[in-house]
Amino acid sequence: MSNNPDIFELILESVPEGVMLLNGQGVVTIANRAAYTLLGSTRESVYGHNYRDLIKSFVEQGGEVKDEDGGLVKLEDHPILKTLSDGKTRTDVLLGLTLPGAEPIWLRVNTSSLRQNREGLPANLDEAGHQVVVSMRNVTWQHQSQEKLARALEDLAAEREFLRVLLDNLQEGIIAVDEHGHFTVFNPASARFHGISDTSKLIGKVPTGSDLELPDGTRLSPKENPLLRALEGEHIRNESLIIDHPPHPKREILATAQSLHDSNGNLIGAVVAMHDVTEQKRVERELADLAMRDPLTGVANRLKFDDELADAVSESEVNGTTLAVFMVDLDGFKAINDSYGHQVGDEVLRHVARRLRQATRPKDTVARIGGDEFVVICALDTPHIEVKTLYGRLESSLKDSIATEEGVVHIRASLGYALREPHSKVTALDLLRGADNQMYKQKAAKKEISE
């Protein structure tokens, strides 16, 4: 290196980084333009001044020196002054300089002691006893970018955490897949619907649809899974499905699914939202059932009877089975009401309905279609045997007396029945009229005998 100090200073001025030389007392003996510009000063206010005094003056003017975490740097912890004190090299120390009303400047500072290697320096510098060389560069833009990135990452993490908590607390089941059809989201509600305790094993796998079925019991194939259909572009809205995952109870859901795209329109996956309507459907069925039942006796009402009889006739036509309709009418029921009151009359009707159900088979329909009129619909496999057996059981069930709060009530009933043979033209109305006519014939015969 040349010993010409002018050349040495010219070299320093050409360096983009700020460079300072401090003597053993901490006085700035050389400072290039980049150095005092970074410090927000002039050459005259820096050159020949003690660096410790410069920092004190800076703080007295309201300035702040901060470390990379934003904490204030004490005078004794300043990296330049510490190297001046202990002679240790310090590299890439981040310092922030802030004056009131001004934007902070962030510097990367390196310090090293010239005591450790004085060889090769110009003679005049060596003689001057310079002790510390300082280099600094402006990293404000990089630091601000890093801060923005850190804040963005924090915001993203907070947003992801918010979404996770939101999904975890939703009562709606939410499942998502990526563009390849692999699970990416399976929230707790969905896990509960499917009876799954650990959803982590599902992430990255493809939906099978093996536990999904239509309301009619038809199992969905994998390609019929709402998520995979949505991935193909189909928009699914409130589709009724059943989740059947034994031994867990079945769940009825409404599924809404659609594909997901980024801001450029690229497909990134699909999502399905599942609303559990199990309880709602149960209540609806109960209400529908109540609408079809006689409120007093609990057996089918006239509306339900008409539907059941029409269905039974249609089935008889298709399957070639014999259909029987029994008409039951209580004898002297008006006298029971007159003698004991309507409360006892209602109690008698409930007993009659219960006995008729006990006398028939589970597949038979018992209905109350009038005040004291009951009807039984039966499909017969061996008509001539079964019709006699059923007739006898129905007749026997109505011979026993009924104990009520007002005393023992003796009941009698008249029965009639009509048959629809396979492939006949007998209608539902024909069956009802035929059974009714037979019942009234029996009632009339009883009346003649009693007279």
**pLDDT, tens digit, for every residue of 131-148?**
899 999 999 888 888 778
Q: Supply the pLDDT for residue 127.
A: 44
CATH topology of domain 292-450: Alpha-Beta Plaits (3.30.70)
Residue 130 has pLDDT above 80, yes or no: no
What homologous superfamily is domain 170-281 in, according to CATH? PAS domain (3.30.450.20)
Of the pLDDT bands very low, low, confident and very high (cuts 50, 70, 90), residue 437 is very high
5-138 and 292-450 agree in CATH topology? no
Residue 50 has pLDDT above 50, yes or no: yes
Of the pLDDT bands very low, low, confident and very high (cuts 50, 70, 90), residue 328 is very high
Structure tokens at 389: 């057996």
Residue extents of the structural domains in the chain: 5-138, 170-281, 292-450
Structure tokens at 372: 């004291």
Residue entry with tokens 């199992």: 219
Query: For the chain, what is the radius of gyration of the CA atoms?
Result: 48
Residue 57 has pLDDT above 60, yes or no: yes
Q: What is the number of other CB atoms lying within 10 angstroms of the CB of residue 96?
A: 19
Architecture of domain 5-138: 2-Layer Sandwich (3.30)
Q: Supply the pLDDT for residue 1.
A: 45
Q: In the structure, how many helices (H) and strands (E) does the chain have?
A: 15, 18
Of the pLDDT bands very low, low, confident and very high (cuts 50, 70, 90), residue 3 is low
- Mind listing the pLDDT tens digit for each residue in 205-226? 887 767 888 988 888 888 888 9
| Mean pLDDT, residues 57-61 taken together | 89
- Helix, strand or coil, per DSSP, at residue 275: strand
Q: Supply the pLDDT for residue 39.
A: 85
Residue 304 has pLDDT above 70, yes or no: yes
Q: Supply the pLDDT for residue 407.
A: 80
Helices 342-359, 333-340: crossing angle, 10 deg rounding: 140
Residues 6+ apart with CB under 8 A from 19: 12, 30, 31, 32, 34, 35, 133, 134, 135, 136
CB-based contact 444:329 (threshold 8 Å)? no
